[in-house]
A and B are shown apart, each in its own frame.
Chain A
Amino acid sequence: MSLKLSVDWPRCAAHGLCAEIAPELISLDDWGYPTVLPGPIPPQLVRLAERARMACPVLALRMEQVPD
């Protein structure tokens, strides 16, 4: 199993904190909404991803276990 980031789209309100905290994993589109790195989170970036997830004011960033 590995971890993967995803966005709960109806919740996301383009605060942009996730991209500020984890630019290695998340960038923002033309309207300030996140684009997350596809595929599994590299192990050395898991803690950063967790911080980005916790920073979202509306809890719209999800981190889920996916089968390898």
Chain B
Amino acid sequence: MSGATALAGVGTGPRLLAGLGNGQRLDLAAHLEVHGPVTSLRTRRRAEHPLIEAIAEAGVRGRGGAGFPTASKLRAVKAAGRRPVVVINGSEGEPLSQKDTLLLLRTPHLVLDGAAAVAEALGAKEVVVYLHRGREAVERSVQAAIRERDDASLFTLVAGPARYVAGESSAVANFLSGGPAIPTTTPPRVSERGVGGRPTMLSNAETYAHIGLVARHGPEWFRTVGTASEPGTLLLTITGAVQAPGVVEVPFGTLISTALELAGGVSDASVGYLLGGYAGTWMRPEIANDLALASMVMRERRAGIGVGLIAVLPQAACVLAETANIMRWLANESARQCGPCLNGLPAIAEATEALATGRVDEFVLGKLERWARMVEGRGSCHHPGGAVQTLRSALDTFADHTNQHLMSGPCSQAHRTWLAIPAVPTGPDADFR
């Protein structure tokens, strides 16, 4: 992996990234030295397992993009009755995101501790670490960490197709059940019926790392930083036109400008930031800088924290050209199983490309809005809706620039793009197998 740097968090210092200065990797001994052992939590109400109670009181939310309360998911899995499976989703299919990869490479025991504690709380006998294929360094790190542990027999490592939607929870469960890694129709939810038909606790690697700390220090400690509705810290991947791109840890509620300073600050002027992920929100720097990393605040701006990506686009870039590339990539990454996504995303990609390169007619904006409405919320997962969010934010936020493309053809920057787009998959990945 390139460029991932563990930088100090603000406020009380890093939690997940503690001990990771100077490129260190925490083996079991180093991990225990930094974080100490997991001790059993004291329970107050005894109505449920103390860890589930602690996670509920801590207010931990999932870090895979949806921000769902982790305790609610745990309770749903528990309520399903049968012996559950625990899955650590370390697939990190978001092209520029590095946070889960960083955790698994450098502090894998914190993630495994969280999952082991969850397995114990749920009475699960199996924890699957799910990765994208082709990330050998991550596989080696996780395998080495598992071998060091007393509870090594609890863990299995599985690598699935390196496709974006293959990391969606129902797609992961479908793959681990022997099927292709494509999203399935919900309900049933994975928490009720997931891997092999069993209730499945599936969460992002970062979520388990936070649980690894809640299991040690309890909910009061967890809530000492962050906001009331989103306690604790979060990992951000900051990339693009900043001095020191990498992964940083900040408390929820931190201003985006403060987070960017931790990545060395914006290197020059920037035309806009892409927030949340490739299925995210474009925002002008002057608006985004003063925004707090808090879901309630960001929602008012039709944005979200997503997977914690902040991509800073340099001044000499065209948001429409970047968005066209992203639309084409998202269209290619469709599982091609739901009609609106299969047909709508390529149509949207083509029209956005036309807008970026100047082969436009007067109807292109109307067509884009029509197709955006036709794919939104129609399909078995949120893939098409995510694409539409990025598109709309580009057209709304950069309406002047869009008009310039419409009136006088493509801008001088439209011929080159900055944001990396993964290659079209081949081999078994092409079939989600």
- CB pair A33 B340 closer than 8 Å: yes
Interface mask (A11-26 → B, CB under 8 Å = 1, otherwise 0):
1111000000000000
The count of chain A contact residues (Cβ–Cβ below 8 Å) is 14
Query: How many pairs, one residue from A and one from B, have CB atoms within 8 Å of each other in the complex?
Result: 40
**Which residues between 347 and 378 of chain B lie within 8 Å of chain A, taking CB atoms?**
347, 370-371, 374, 378
Given contacts A30-B371, A35-B378, contact A10 B344 (CB under 8 A): no
- CB pair B337 A10 closer than 8 Å: yes
Residues of B within 8 A of A13 (CB): 339
A10 to B334, CA, bound (A): 12
A22: min CB distance to chain B, Å: 18
A29 at the interface (CB under 8 A from B): yes
B177 at the interface (CB under 8 A from A): no
- CB pair B343 A9 closer than 8 Å: no
Q: Which residue of B lies closest to A64 (CB)?
A: B187
Interface mask (B372-415 → A, CB under 8 Å = 1, otherwise 0):
00100011100000000000000000000000000000000000
The count of chain B contact residues (Cβ–Cβ below 8 Å) is 15
A17: min CB distance to chain B, Å: 15
Residues of B within 8 A of A29 (CB): 340, 344, 374
B38 at the interface (CB under 8 A from A): no
A interface, CB within 8 angstroms of B: 7-14, 29-33, 35
B interface, CB within 8 angstroms of A: 184-185, 337-340, 343-344, 347, 370-371, 374, 378-380
**14 pairs from A and B in contact (CB 8 Å cutoff):** A7-B378, A9-B338, A9-B340, A10-B380, A12-B338, A14-B339, A30-B370, A30-B371, A31-B340, A31-B344, A33-B339, A33-B340, A33-B343, A35-B378
